[in-house]
Amino acid sequence: METSGVIGVCRSSVALNRMEKERKKGTYSKQYVALVHGHLSGDSRIDTPLVRVKCPDLV
């Protein structure tokens, strides 16, 4: 089964209400976080496109 989309997690009802309002207004944005091995010097940006991995053991 393939899925795609955004997963939102809120730790409080206040945060949930704010996220719902932002979603309805369309004023939220996506942010991807990468787990890297090694060290990055200063602020960095990765411009490599995301690829789909066909491995059922990876999430």
**Single-letter amino acid code for the residue at 57:** D
pLDDT at 4: 66
pLDDT band at 25 (very low <50, low <70, confident <90, very high): very high
Note if the pTM is more than 0.85. no
pLDDT band at 17 (very low <50, low <70, confident <90, very high): very high
The structure tokens 């602020």 sit at 43
- Summarize pLDDT for 35-45 with one digit per residue, the tens: 778 887 788 77
Radius of gyration of the chain (CA): 16
Q: Name the residue ranges covered by the structural domains of the chain.
A: 1-37
Distance CA 58, CA 52 (A): 10
pLDDT band at 14 (very low <50, low <70, confident <90, very high): very high
